[in-house]
Amino acid sequence: MSKFTFDPTIYNKSKNKPMSSVLEAEISRRSVLKRTAMVTAFAALAGTGLTACRSDDNTGSSSSGATNSEDPLTLGFESIPGAKLDAIVVPAGYTATVLAPWGTPLNDAADAWKNDGSNTSVDQLNAMGMHHDGMHFFPIGDGVDEGVLCINHEYISTSALHSSAPVTTDNERREKARKEINAHGVSVVHIKLVNDTWDVVAGSNLNRRFTSATEMDIAGPIADSDLDFLVTRYTVEQGNKKIARGTNNNCGNGHTPWGTYLTCEENWPGYFVRTDNRSQWTAEQRRMGISNRGNRYGWHTLPDDSITGEFSRFNITPSGTDANDDFRNEANGHGYIVEIDPYNPASRAVKRTALGRFRHEDCSFGNVEAGKPVVFYSGHDGRFEYIYKFVSKALWNPADADPSDRLATGAKYMNEGTLYVARFSQGGEGSWLALTPESVTEDNRRLGDVDGFGTLAEILLNAPGAADLMGATPMDRPEWTAVDPKNGAVYVTLTNNTRRDDDDSDSDNDTNVANPRANNRFGHIIRWTERSDATTFDWEFFLFGSPANGDAEINLSGLNSTNELASPDGLVFDKRGILWVQTDNGADEVEDNTNDQMLAVIPTQLNQAEGNSPVINEGNQDQLKRFFVGPNDCEVTGLAFNADNTTFFVNIQHPGNWPYSSNAAEATPQGVSVRPRAATVVIRREDGGEIGL
C-alpha cells in the first residue's frame, strides 16, 4: 500500500494477546528468534528442493526445485549505492525504459495523453490508469517476446490527473469525478517486444480496463447467502443480486495456477461514507473502518440518477425503508480478491467471497500438488491486523492448469473452502484457526453462536471480527506474501507499526512473539513452512529492516550501506527462486540516504544463521543486494517477468518529477518540471541474459 493512502486508525479492538506473556524488549534475549529445530528444518528444505509447481511454467505438473545436480544460483551483480535522483538506477550492464505510463491509450477511443491534464473521462476509461501497483505477466506463445500485463492502479493524485481549468457547474464536477473513477482499477495490456523494445499493442482486443464503476460478478458464500447482503436499489433494478460495481484501491495482486489474474481490494473503506450515528452501524462497518467523514474524493456529494446511484452509491447511510430502496449494502460488494481472465476480453471479473472480506494487500498461492487442495495466502494491511490463508475444498487436478474456461476453474477452487487466520506462538510454532461456524472462540464459544457470526457468510463478511474472536496474532501491517517455488516456504512483509510498544499500562499495543520491536518504524519479514496438516506451521524471522547505522536493538540483521532498507512491502519470487523485496520507505534514517528500492536474495543459498540471529544477519550480508532504486518521491511496487527472465517489469508509483523521457534512467534536468506519470519500467540486460544472474 502506498503510504499516501494508509489509514493509521486502529480498528482491531480485540486486545488479542495470543501468547502466554509479552516478550522482553531486548531482542537478543528472545530465544524464539532462532531455534535449532527451525534451522534444521529450513536447511533440509534448502537442500532437498521440495517439488513445486507454479503457474509461471503453466504446465500443471510438478517441477523439481534446486537439487545437488543443479548449479547453485548466484546473484551476478554488485549491490548498487542508494540514490536520490529524478531517475531510475540499475546495476552496470542493465537498461531501464518506460512502458505504458498513466494515460497511454489502449484503443482508438482515447486521445493521446495530454501534458496539460485536459484528457476527458472517456479518454481515461480507454487508457492506462493512474498509480501502477501490483501486476503479473501472462505469456502469449512462448512468453519470451509477447504477453499480457495486468496492472493494478491503487489510487490517484488529483493535481496531476486534472487540468488547472476552473470547475464551476455540476456537469463539470461529474465529469471530473468520472475521470477519477476511471483512473482507478486495473489495466489489461497486450505488449510485445519489437526491435528490442517492449511496447503496448495499440488497439488489441485484449486491451481493456476495469474501473471503480465496472460491473462485476460476485460469487461464493456471501453472494449465495439467503441474507441478501448485496441487495441495493441498483441490483433490484437489474434483477440480479450477485453483482458489484467497481473495484477500488487495487494494491497488491496474485495469479492462479490456471492462468488468471487476482487483484486485491485494499483500502476500499475510504471510498464509502456513512453519516448517521455510529450506534446504528453494523459491527462489520465499524470493524472494517468505514468513514463517517466522507469519500476520499467526495464522489458521494455529486447529484446523480436516483436509480443507478452513479455517485450516491458511495454514501451507504440508510435512507429508505430497507436495502431495496438505498445503497446501505453497497460497501458489502467490496473488500475481496477479484479474479480476471486476461486472455478472454469478453469475460467479466469475479469477486471471490470465500477468501474473506478485509483489506487484502495481495494474494499468493502455495505450490500445488495433484490430489491436494489449492492454498492462497493474503495479508490484511493495517496496524494489528492478521494473516490469512484459504484452503480449497476441491483437490488440484493438473489438467486444470490450462482449462478452456478459466473462470469456471476459478469457481471450482475459489468458491468453496476454508478460510483460516494465523496465530504465532513461542518456540517457532504456529497454528491456523478456522473461521467457520463450528470453530471454538478464544473464550470457548462456538463461533456460529456469537451474534453477527451465525453463518459462514456473516463470518466472511466480517473476517477480521471473526479473527478477533478466535485469538489471532495482531501483526505489524501484513503486506505482500510470496511462496518459494523451490521448497514452498511462505514469506510475508510486515511493513511497520509505530504504535507497537512495551508499555505495561497499554497492553493492547504490546510487542509479541512475532512482532518483537516497539515503535517498529523499519519493518520485518517472517517466513514459515506448513506442516503435513492444514492447521499448524513452523516459523522464523527472515529479515529486519534498519538503517545501516542502527544500534544493536534496531539493526538486528546487520544491514550496511549496500542494503539498508525500511518498510519492506512488495515481495515476489521469480521461478528460479530469487526473492525480490520492494520498499515503501517512511523512515527518515533510510530515506535520507536512498529512495525506495528493490533488493534481491536467494533464500535457499543463504548461509544458515546461528543462535538468536534472524536468517539474514551479519554473516551473510553479501547475499542481500540492492538491484534497483526508484526516482524521488516514488514507491517501487509490482514486479513481473517474461518467460525466460530476460525482461523484468517493475512499477513506479507516485513519482515526484519523472519520467523525463522513455529512458527511465535519464534524470529530469535540474530546473525542469514534468507532469509526473506512474509507469512500468522495463529492465533488461545489455547482453540479453537473465536478470540478476
Contact between 527 and 491 (Cβ < 8 Å): yes
Name the phi and psi angles at 216, rounded to 5. -135, 155
DSSP letters, 607-671, are: PPP-TT--SS-GGGGGGSEEEEE--TT-EEEEEEE-TTSSEEEEEEES-SS--SSSBTTSPPPTT
- Taking a C-beta distance cutoff of 8 angstroms, is the pair 133, 636 a contact? no
Cα–Cα distance list, 100 to 58, 127, 149, 199 (Å) = 26, 9, 10, 7
Map residue 204 onto helix, strand or coil: coil
Size of the chain, expressed as the number of residues it contains: 693
Predicted confidence (pLDDT) per residue in 44-77, tens digit: 444 433 333 344 444 333 332 333 346 789 999 9
Q: What is the pLDDT of residue 153?
A: 98
E strands within 484-535? 490-494, 524-530
Cell of 319: 435512507
DSSP-derived secondary structure letter, 393: E
Q: For position 112, what pLDDT does the model report?
A: 98
Q: How far is it, in rounded angstroms, from Cα 177 to Cα 171?
A: 10
For 475-521, write each residue's pLDDT tens digit.
999 999 999 999 999 999 999 999 999 876 666 789 999 999 999 99
Note whether 97 and 664 are within 8 A (CB): yes
pLDDT at residue 610, as a whole number: 63
The rounded distance, in Å, linking the Cα atoms of 34 and 272 is 44
Supply the pLDDT for residue 61.
Answer: 34
CA distances, 593 to each of 83, 618, 627, 633 (Å): 7, 21, 15, 13
Q: How would you list the strands of the sheet with 536-544, edge to edge?
A: 364-365, 373-379, 387-395, 417-424, 429-434, 536-544, 524-530, 490-494, 478-483
pLDDT at residue 612, as a whole number: 67
**Is omega for the bond preceding 478 within 30 degrees of 0, making it cis?**
no
Q: Are 336 and 360 spatial neighbours (Cβ–Cβ below 8 Å)?
A: yes
**Domain ranges, ordered by start, for the chain:** 27-108+117-163+179-204+250-268+337-685
Going by C-beta distance under 8 Å and a sequence separation of 6 or more, which residues neighbour residue 312?
300, 302, 304, 306, 327
Q: How far is CA 273 from CA 297, 532, 624, 637, in A?
A: 11, 44, 44, 29
**239 CB burial (10 A radius; 0-12, 13-18, 19+):** exposed
Q: How far apart are the first and last CA of the chain?
A: 29
Sign of CA dihedral 460, 465, 468, 474: positive
Backbone angles phi, psi at 478, to 5 degrees: -65, 125
Question: Coil, strand or helix: which one is 143?
Answer: coil
The list of the chain residues with pLDDT below 50 reads 18-41, 43-69
Max CA separation in the chain (angstroms): 71
Output the pTM of the full model. Answer: 0.93
Predicted pLDDT at 37: 41
